[in-house]
Amino acid sequence: MTTTTAGPAPRVLIADDQTLIRTGFRLILTARGIEVVGEAADGEEALAAASELRPDVVLMDIRMPNMDGLEATRRILERLPDCRVLILTTFDLDRYVYTALSVGASGFLLKDVTPEHLAAAVRLVDTGDALLAPSITRRLVERFASEPARTPTVHTDLATLTPRELEVLTLLARGLSNAELATELTLSEATVKSHVARIFAKLSLRDRAQAVVLAYETGLVRPGDFGASRPSGP
């Protein structure tokens, strides 16, 4: 991942109950031209600060007093739907992946992330993309696989997608990047981006994270499909 300085720098709120973490992240981001507009030591402070400061991106710890990061994320995105939240963690993500994505988080970062990757991740989600590696998608799949059989959620807007858009959504939900989608479908990356943008618009999705959740909840993709060959389509 490379850092880009194109466009205005994102405004960031850092929410973590450890002062050293907040200070370190602030120094890293400001040194790379990213404005840190505020800090919060717990979920309640994060919610209040986000409502007042209206940041572009929130770096959100999960385990915090008073209100955890998952609940704070849900409430912030209810009030500020254009805000992006990156979840910070030092531990295994399995039990948090689905909940975090379901409430609208745009991705995950380990707290020992390199300075360059931290800045690049903030800029990436600020553009509207999601920091969602195939490993995270796999954990989401495993979460669904471990559950009893469930009735898929009905999402009538799926009927508005063309066969090609359904194909793109299916592959996207398996964790493929735009470049990988382009290779798999023998399309240009620009064409893939256009398909993805239309899918998001038709289904009222914020980013790839929400697309993954929708694809599994509607039954468009099932756990056993992970790693399977791509679906046929025109």
CB-based contacts of 193-201 (< 8 A; 24+ apart in sequence): 195/164, 195/165, 195/168, 196/168, 196/172, 198/165, 199/161, 199/165, 199/168, 199/169, 199/172
197 lies in the same domain as 117? no
Please give the pLDDT value at position 179.
Answer: 83
203 with 107, same domain: the answer is no
Q: Are residues 178 and 214 in the same domain?
A: yes
The verdict on 162 and 109 lying in the same domain is no
b (16+ CB within 10 A) / e for 120-140: bbbbbbbeebbbbeeebbbbb
pLDDT at residue 223, rounded to an integer: 58
Same domain for 16 and 68?
yes
- CATH code: domain of residue 74: 3.40.50.2300
The amino acid at residue 131 is: L
Strand 84-89 to 107-110 pairing: parallel
Clarify whether residues 64 and 19 are in a common domain: yes
Kindly report the CATH number assigned to the domain that includes residue 200.
1.10.10.10
Residues 82 and 175 reside in one and the same domain: no
Question: Are residue 186 and residue 98 in the same domain, yes or no?
Answer: no
Q: How many domains does the chain have?
A: 2
How far, in Å, CA of 162 to CA of 159, rounded?
8
CB contact set of 20 (below 8 Å; sequence gap of 6+):
none
Which residue range forms the structural domain that includes residue 118? 11-131
Residues 124, 70 share a domain: yes
115 and 42, same structural domain? yes
H or E stretch including 139?
Answer: helix 134-145
pLDDT at 219: 79
Q: What is the pLDDT along the chain (234 residues), one digit of tens a residue?
A: 434 445 688 999 999 999 999 999 999 999 999 999 999 999 999 999 999 999 999 999 988 999 999 999 999 999 999 899 998 877 655 567 778 877 888 888 878 888 998 999 899 888 877 776 555 666 665 665 555 555 555 566 788 999 999 999 998 887 777 888 899 999 998 999 899 999 999 998 877 778 887 887 787 876 555 444 444 343
Q: Is residue 36 part of a domain?
A: yes
The domain boundary residue, chosen from 79, 104, 131: 131
211 and 104 within one domain: no
pLDDT of residue 165: 94
- pLDDT score of 206: 79
Q: Considering the domain boundaries, does residue 110 fall inside one?
A: yes
pTM of the model: 0.71
CA 34 to CA 26: how far, in whole Å?
9
Kindly state whether residue 30 falls inside one of the protein's structural domains. yes
User: Beta-strand (E) ranges in 102-165?
Assistant: 107-110
